[in-house]
Chains A and B, each alone.
Chain A
Amino acid sequence: MKSIVIGVIGADVHAVGNKIIEYTLTNAGYNVVNIGVLSSQEDFINAAIETNASLIMVSSLYGHGEIDCRGMRDKCVEAGISDIPLYVGGNIVVGKQDFNEVKKRFEAMGFNRVYPPGTTIDTALADIKADLGE
C-alpha cells in the first residue's frame, strides 16, 4: 500500500477539505498520513521520510500558500527525498490572479501538480494514479 502525506500548510486552520481528501484517498486504497492543520514544511517532509511516502499533497486555503511553500523542494533535496512528487491545491494565492501565471510560479518552486480553486479531489486522484503508475 502506497503512502501519501497530506496536511494544511502554514498558519492555516481550514480542516474540512483536509478531512475530505483523507476520506477519498483512503477509499481509493492509499495509506493516508494526515499531519493536519498548522503544519510546517518540515512536518510534511519528516512524515514522508518515516512512512516512505510516495507523494506529498499540500493544502493551502488562506491565500499565503506561495510564502509557505517556498523552498520546500530544496528541503526535500536536503532530506534525501528529492524526487518525491509534490502537489499543492486550495486557494493558494490572494486576489484574482491569472492561474496560468500562478501555476508557473509554483512549478518553478518544484511542485509537480498545482491545482486552481474549486478543483475536486477526484481530479487530483486521477493524477495521483497516473503519477504513481497505477
Chain B
Amino acid sequence: MPRYLLIDFGSTYTKLTAVGTDQGDILATASHPTTVASDISIGYLAALERLYERLGERVVFDETIACSSAAGGLKMAAIGLVEELTVEAARRVCLGAGAKVDLVFSHHMTKREVASLEQNKIDIVLLAGGADGGNTENVLYNLRMLGEANIRIPIIYAGNKSCQDDVQDLFDRYQLDGRITDNVMPKINQLHIGPAREAIRKLFLEKIIEAKGIKKIESQIDKVILPTPEAVLKAAELLSLGTLDEKGLGELAMVDIGGATTDFYSMSHPTRRGDVVLHGLEEPYAKRTVEGDLGMRWSATGVLKAMTSDEIRVFSDRMGVDLKEAFQHRHDHVDFLPQSEADHLVDALLARICLEKAINRHAGKMEEVYTPLGNVLNQTGKDLSHIEWVIGTGGPVIKSKDPLSILKHAAKRAELPFELRPEAPNYLLDKDYIMAAMGLLSQKDPLLALRIMKKRLIRLEPDEVHYGRT
C-alpha cells in the first residue's frame, strides 16, 4: 500500500507530513525554516532528515507532492468593471484559487494603476468586466492600457464572452502573455468560479513556481500541485462534504490566524431559510476571505487601525497593558515570542481581535426592512448561523495555552444580532497542523484524507460552563 510524503513550502516553515495507507494515519511530521532565498532544497532536505529520524527508518515514499506559499505566495491583481459585481467576482475567484489579492481595480485603469502592477510584483492579473453580452468597452480599454504599458505579467481574461476575439487580437498585437477563460460573472449576480480558478492553478504550475525558484525542487519530489491556501480550502471542503463512502462533518468554518494575514473559510450554503430575500453577488459553498490588515506580527498595527478607540481603551484598562505599544512592538519585532504571562495574554487578545474582525467581514448581514406588507428580511453575504463546527488552525491558535478562549469569539454575539455568525458551534483544533497536507492527500486518496482529519482534529470542550458570551 502506498506511502505519501506531503510537503507544504510555507512562507516561514517547510512542513513535511508522512502518511501510510496501511496505518490509515499520519506516521510523522517534521519542519524546518524555508530556504527559498538561497536554495529551497536545503530546508527541505533538513526537514526530511528530521522526518526520517522520527520515522526510525529512511522510508521510500511512493508519492511526494507539495503545495507552496513560499516567496510571497501567489500575488494577484483583480480587475473588473463595477465594484460590487465583476470586481468582487474577480476578487473571489483569486481568493478561491489560494492567491493574495494585493491590488483591485474597477472601471477604466489609469497609467498609475497599470504601473503599480509591476511595482507590486504581481504574479498574475485576472481581467474581468461585463456580463456575457454586456459591456465590452471597459475590458478592451483596460487591456489596451496593459498592452501600451508593455506589461510582462501573465494575464487571464475572464470577462464578457462576447469580446473574446477582440481580446485575443489585442493579446497578439501587444504580444501579451495572455490566456482566455470563461466569464467570472456571466449573468448579473451569478458567480462562475471553476474555469478561472483552473486557469490560475495551471499558470501557477507552469510559470509562477518556476519564477519563484520553487520549481527546481521538482527534480527531488514528484510535483508541486497547489498554492497552499487552495490546498487548505480543498481539505476544508472535503471535511465538510465527505465522500460517497463516508459522510463529512457538515457545515463548518475555519480560521487561520497568521503573522501577516488572517484567513477565514466557510463551507456552507448561503442560507437555509425560505423567508429571506438574498441580495448581491451569489455566494459560493466553499468561500475563503483573506484579511491582509489582520495578523499577529507584520499586521499587528493593522489590527490597531481596525479597532475603535473605545475598544483599545477598554482592553488596555482591563489588561493593564498599553495595547498600542504592545501591538507596535510585535509589528517592529516580528520574531517576538511571548515570554511572560502578560505577553501570552496580549497575544491571545490579538488573536481574538483578528478572529472577531475577520468573521465580522466574512459573515453575512441580515437587515429587517419594514414594508407595507409587513417585515421582510434582507440578507447580504453568507448566513453562518447553523454552522456546527468552527476549526482553529495556524500557529498562534495551535500554540495558544487556551485555544478555546480565542475561538469562542467566532460565535454569535447578543449585541450584534444582525451579524450572521455561528449560533452554537462546537470547536475543533488542528493541533498537528495538517490541513494543507490533507488538501494535498485529498487529490490522491480523499477517503483517507477525510478519515485522518476526523481522527486528528481534536474537540475543544469548555472545562466550565459559561453562561455569558463574553
Contacts and interface: CB of A to CB of B under 8 A. Distances in A.
A75 to B, nearest CB: 13
A49 to B, nearest CB: 5
A50 B133 contact: no
A13 B84 CA distance: 22
B467 interface: no
Contacts of A33: 131, 187-188
Contacts of B84: 42, 46
A13 B277 contact: yes
A117 interface: no
Number of chain B interface residues as a range: 20 to 34
Interface in B131-172: 131, 133-137
Interface string B343-382: 0000000000000000000000000011111001010000
A36 B373 CA distance: 16
Given A11-B371, A50-B188, A51-B188, A38 B136 contact: no
B85 A11 contact: no
A94 to B, nearest CB: 10
A13 B188 contact: no
B135 A49 contact: yes
A12 B277 CA distance: 11
Interface in B38-74: none
B34 interface: no
A21 to B, nearest CB: 16
B108 to A, nearest CB: 9
Given A3-B133, A31-B133, A11 B376 contact: yes
A17 to B, nearest CB: 14
Interface string A1-27: 101000000011110000000000000
B371 A13 contact: yes
A70 B464 CA distance: 56
A71 interface: no
Nearest to A53: B134
A85 B137 CA distance: 20
The winner among B85, B134, B185, B187 for most chain A CB atoms within 10 A is B134
B145 to A, nearest CB: 17
B135 A62 contact: no
A13 B133 contact: no
Contacts of B371: 11-13, 62
A121 interface: no
B134 A50 contact: yes
A109 interface: no
Contact of A63 (B107, B133, B189, B372): B372
Interface in A34-50: 35-38, 42-43, 46-47, 49-50
B185 A50 contact: yes
A116 B189 CA distance: 31
B295 interface: no
A82 interface: no
Nearest to A46: B82
Interface string B157-201: 000000000000000000000000000010111000000000000
B135 A38 contact: no
Given A12-B371, A13-B376, A49 B82 contact: yes
B130 interface: yes
Given A33-B188, A38-B279, A52-B130, A13 B135 contact: no
B86 interface: yes
Interface of A: 1, 3, 11-14, 31, 33, 35-38, 42-43, 46-47, 49-53, 62-63, 80
Given A36-B277, A38-B376, 15 more contacts: A33-B187, A42-B84, A46-B82, A47-B85, A49-B82, A50-B85, A50-B129, A50-B131, A50-B134, A50-B185, A50-B188, A51-B131, A51-B188, A62-B371, A62-B373
7 contacts: A14-B373, A35-B189, A38-B369, A38-B378, A46-B84, A50-B81, A50-B185
